Structure 1
């Protein structure tokens, strides 16, 4: 049985087996409900650690700070991280993929009929005002474009999406990039579903991963985590957790 072998091998592989995961307000992946952190990634992480005989604690951090904390080993684990060569220098990547939510450009509903951009390069070569989160990598193309000073004046970097959604609704931005699941959830919660909608521009359809700090977590532990995550896919627990928060999500 996969689970029993995981428990037998993994529990002693990380000393006391206490893992700290970064979270922030990022529904439907992380949310605070009655002083408890819940959501897709919160529940997946909690279930996987329980199968490994480990405890999981949550540390609230913005994304840019979380990457630095992961590098230094002060946070053990992040979720929803795209694979980049820079991050691979200090992070182990889980190899099990269960859910892919594409990064979509969201725009005002009133502009949808006139939207004719088919890529980020053409978007940023126009006078389109793009909102983006600090230190977030949306795609390889995006990462390359933001290094070019010619595009800098068309991008406004902000730490949190909630402010960007409101700026978009008030015509202070023309669009912003977000995971499809996250974007649809957040604009609904903000009462902006009738004013903001996903455009036809898919920025990236790459998978995002759980990652672990090389400074505090061994590669053997990550292999054990992958076994636990795979067992959750096999026995239906993974789908049940996703459907708890996003019933229409495809796996």
Structure 2
């Protein structure tokens, strides 16, 4: 069969695109084994849906990144503090939604930033006019009972106070935001530091969203990264991960995933 010049150009053009995609996938696919990713229930970022399948904004994002890298993922449910320890030891490869700190940079690579979020003071709605803190320093002079999540980074000033906990402000830590919400609703703490999107999602699931409110006191916005263990993840893999993440953002797929979850919050 003889092709016209136009048909030949179209077909070679399509072949060229397919070849470029194949070469790109081949260039990024340096995973000789599935990459392990730790997770803990943290709606709407990572959780099991009604069908029992792992879901969430972060789960979809890291899966989309891995697909572009030509890599497979294995997810392991684990509390965040133990997740960091196993990542340091090379027993888990990746973590999502983490902040960059000097201590973590000693044992982990960090991707380019991929989202931001702010932690706020969350209180019971009935107490909306009761607390008038304008800063965390002002809060430390009170007998407020504050709930935080173990292993989370809330900023240098907050974390230094949490470590000492030697002032009037009483700090209680638990292993998850969900437990903090339960303590808040049960009046075991006066307020909690958390991502409002997460807390409202959790409260909505149990039909108690109207019982909580966001206090004006907010912490500095957190910038989140994907973190890779230096003990098990190569610099080349992190470079490829960054390329895949950038491709995801440029294609519009990244924003589509994020907006789908945030609009439902």
TM-score (norm 2): 0.87
Structure-1 residue corresponding to 2:5? none
Q: Which residue of 2 aligns with 1:8?
A: 26
Q: Report the counterpart of residue 55 of structure 1 in structure 2.
A: 72
Segment drifting more, 86-95 vs 109-118: 109-118
Aligned mate of 2:109, from 92, 96, 101? 92
Cα distance in 1 between the residues matched to 2:89 and 2:208: 39
What is the alpha-carbon distance in structure 1 between the residues aligned to residue 130 and residue 85 of structure 2? 40
Of the two, which has the highest radius of gyration?
Answer: 2
**Kept after mapping to 1: 8 A contact 2:142/2:168:** no
Q: Residue 263 of structure 2 is aligned with which of 238, 247, 250?
A: 247
Distance in 1, Cα, partners of 2:168 & 2:108: 28
1:196 equivalent in structure 2: 212
Alignment partner of 1:107 is 2:117: no
CA root-mean-square deviation: 1.9
Q: SS where residue 216 of structure 2 aligns?
A: strand
Partner of 1:232: 248
1:175-194 equivalence runs, <5 A:
175-194=191-210
Which residue among 66, 70, 75 is the counterpart of 2:92? 75
Q: 1:90 to 1:152 in 2, by over 3 A?
A: farther
Gaps of 5+ in 1: none
TM, length-normalised to structure 1: 0.91
Shift of 1:124: 2.2
Q: Distance in 2 between matches of 1:125 and 1:105?
A: 16
Instruction: Determine the structure 1 residue equivalent to 2:180.
Output: 164
Equivalent-residue separation in structure 1 for 2:80 and 2:100 (angstroms) = 15
Cα displacement string for residues 215-251 of structure 1 (whole angstroms, at most 9, x for unaligned residues): 10012211111111111111111111112222268xx
Verify the 8 A CA contact 2:121 2:214 in the aligned structure 1. Answer: yes
